[in-house]
Copies of this chain bind each other. A is one copy, B any other.
């Protein structure tokens, strides 16, 4: 019915818990005291492999868990009544996603792996119980939700007040930041999504994104081949993204 979304991939359990997980760095418990982290350890029991396009959860499905990206990348999408997709979020290693379902107990969007990814599942009921005992965890959850809300607000501002070029440049710089936060190169990286998805996320037609990227390349600001992107002139990009110095136009 629904496209070929119902894969049955062998879900390899990578490790039974956090303390023995080789990917523990950059995970949710970061920032928690060691003792509390060990308590939390029991929660994230099911790191699993998802292949490209495989769904992690589906829109309208009952909400039981949230998830953490250990490796790879994940997008969340909302599908409206006409079947159009709208990309709402991009999640990279260390990011938490899936809390959209807390509101009314069912997920309001779907989550899909963009490439082969390792994903940890955290049972929300367990998480809630631990939150009550761990003030730092409680605070952390609220902060993460607040961060996501602020990210959404940023997107809203971009969508309504910015040109295609500004949006694209801001997207590039946002990715750059996020890779840098992960101790990866902020000047040369691979776009996690297809350009179709990226355009959708930015509220643009693919053609527009393609043209804008071409223009940026012609001006010598970036180098782009396929999904491989290199930032050549970060200062110029920042000037485009945040046009507050109008005085040196000409």
- A: which residues have CB within 8 A of B? 78, 80-82, 84, 86, 88, 99-104, 108-109, 128, 131-133, 135, 138-139, 141-143, 145-150, 152-153, 155-157, 159-161, 200, 203, 242-244
Nearest CB in chain B: distance from A33 CB, A: 16
Contact of A82 among B101, B150, B200, B244 (CB under 8 A): B244
Known: A148-B149, A153-B109, A156-B156. A99 touches B243 (CB 8 A): no
Known: A128-B138, A135-B128, A160-B86. A146 touches B103 (CB 8 A): yes
Contacts of A101 in B (CB 8 A): 146
- In terms of DSSP, what is the predominant structure of the interface of chain A? helix
Contacts of A143 in B (CB 8 A): 102-104
What CA separation (Å) do A80 and B166 show in the bound complex? 14
Give the number of times this chain occurs in the complex, counting copies.
2
25 contacts between A and B (CB under 8 A): A78-B153, A78-B157, A81-B244, A82-B244, A84-B161, A86-B156, A86-B157, A88-B153, A88-B156, A99-B149, A100-B146, A100-B149, A102-B146, A103-B147, A108-B150, A108-B153, A131-B138, A138-B138, A141-B142, A149-B152, A155-B156, A156-B156, A159-B160, A160-B203, A161-B203
Contact of A161 among B80, B100, B131, B132 (CB under 8 A): B80
What CA separation (Å) do A195 and B126 show in the bound complex? 46
Nearest CB in chain B: distance from A189 CB, A: 24
User: Quick one: closest B residue to A245, CB to CB?
Assistant: B81
Contacts of A86 in B (CB 8 A): 156-157, 160-161
Most central of A145, A147, A244 by chain B CB within 10 Å: A145
Nearest CB in chain B: distance from A191 CB, A: 19
Contacts of A155 in B (CB 8 A): 156
Contacts of A131 in B (CB 8 A): 132, 138
Nearest CB in chain B: distance from A12 CB, A: 31
